[in-house]
Amino acid sequence: MVQLQAESLVPTDFGNFRIMAFSEVDNNWMPHLAIVAENTDFSKPVNVRFHSECITGEVFHSKKCECGQQLDAAMKYMAENTGIIVYLRQEGRNIGIINKLKAYALQEQGFDTVEANLKLGLPADDRDFTVAIEILKKLGIAEVNLLTNNPLKLDAVEKSTVTLNSRIALQMPSTKESKEYLQTKKSYFGHLLEDETETQIKATD
Ligand SMILES: Nc1nc2c(ncn2[C@@H]2O[C@H](COP(=O)(O)OP(=O)(O)OP(=O)(O)O)[C@@H](O)[C@H]2O)c(=O)[nH]1
Ligand SMILES: [Zn+2]
């Protein structure tokens, strides 16, 4: 069971956020983070994004995936509309950065994002969103609008006691480097991605 270990207000380029660190022990170097936009009211349906870590995309601006753009778009959305990002330390769909780089090396040889993980003897996706739900509950959030294209994240909320009020699509335009990756997400994982669109953030229901 994770506990809130520390929290502080942090001004960002997008606006002011309260960053809260959750882990089982207070000396954990990789705590999950809740990044809460100011004026977010937890007693109403809350805009929420579960975001799995991607150091290559978010820090080093890799063009292989759209994770960095999604995180920035989510921060902008939360700053403008209130809400919270649950930043999960699940690098590489939870196989870790070393394995993700091994998978990228296989991708250089022509394997796609799923095949590369499987060739390494690892699951295509090793994530579980239970801890994200746990964090929502600790914050007293009962109802959410989830910013995602990933059906597994929607399932995780639907199977929990947190109510899924709506999905908000978070689709980034593809690039020549990310096109195939996004196509595999759609065909293998069933991501709710429109064929090609200028749409960035859109409420669907
Ligand atoms: N193993 C592996 N992981 C990758 C690869 N490309 C990106 N990732 C990881 O995929 C994860 C993407 O997580 P999210 O941004 O939460 O997105 P998502 O699960 O696709 O769902 P959305 O909510 O629709 O964005 C991150 O942990 C990335 O590090 C890859 O080629 N191989
Ligand atoms: Zn990424």
Residues near ligand 1 (Cβ within 6 A): 51-54, 65, 67, 70, 90-93, 95, 100, 103, 113, 117, 148-150, 153, 170, 185, 191
Structure token digits, residue 62 = 């890799």
pLDDT band at 122 (very low <50, low <70, confident <90, very high): very high
pLDDT band at 197 (very low <50, low <70, confident <90, very high): very low
Whether 167 is a known active-site residue: answer no
Whether 72 is a known active-site residue: answer no
Residue 190 has a pLDDT of 86
Print burial letters for 48-59: b (CB count within 10 Å at least 16), e (below 16).
Answer: bbbbbbbebbbe
96 CA distance to ligand 2 centroid (A)?
A: 12
Residue with the bigger pLDDT between 116 and 187: it is 116
pLDDT band at 192 (very low <50, low <70, confident <90, very high): confident
Q: What is the pTM of this model?
A: 0.94
Q: Give the mutation target among 49, 50, 52, 75 for probing the ligand 1 site: most ligand atoms within 8 A of CB.
A: 52
ipTM higher than the 0.95 cut: yes
Structure token digits, residue 64 = 């292989």
Q: Which CATH class is domain 3-90+127-203?
A: alpha beta
| CB 18, CB 7: distance < 8 Å | yes
pLDDT band at 140 (very low <50, low <70, confident <90, very high): very high
H or E element in which residue 71 lies: helix 67-81
- Determine the Cα–Cα distance for residues 175 and 94; give it in Å rounded to an integer: 24
- Determine the Cα–Cα distance for residues 189 and 45; give it in Å rounded to an integer: 27
Over the stretch 47-105, which tens digit does the pLDDT of each residue have?
999 999 999 999 999 999 999 999 999 999 999 999 999 999 999 999 999 999 999 99
Structure token digits, residue 118 = 């499987």
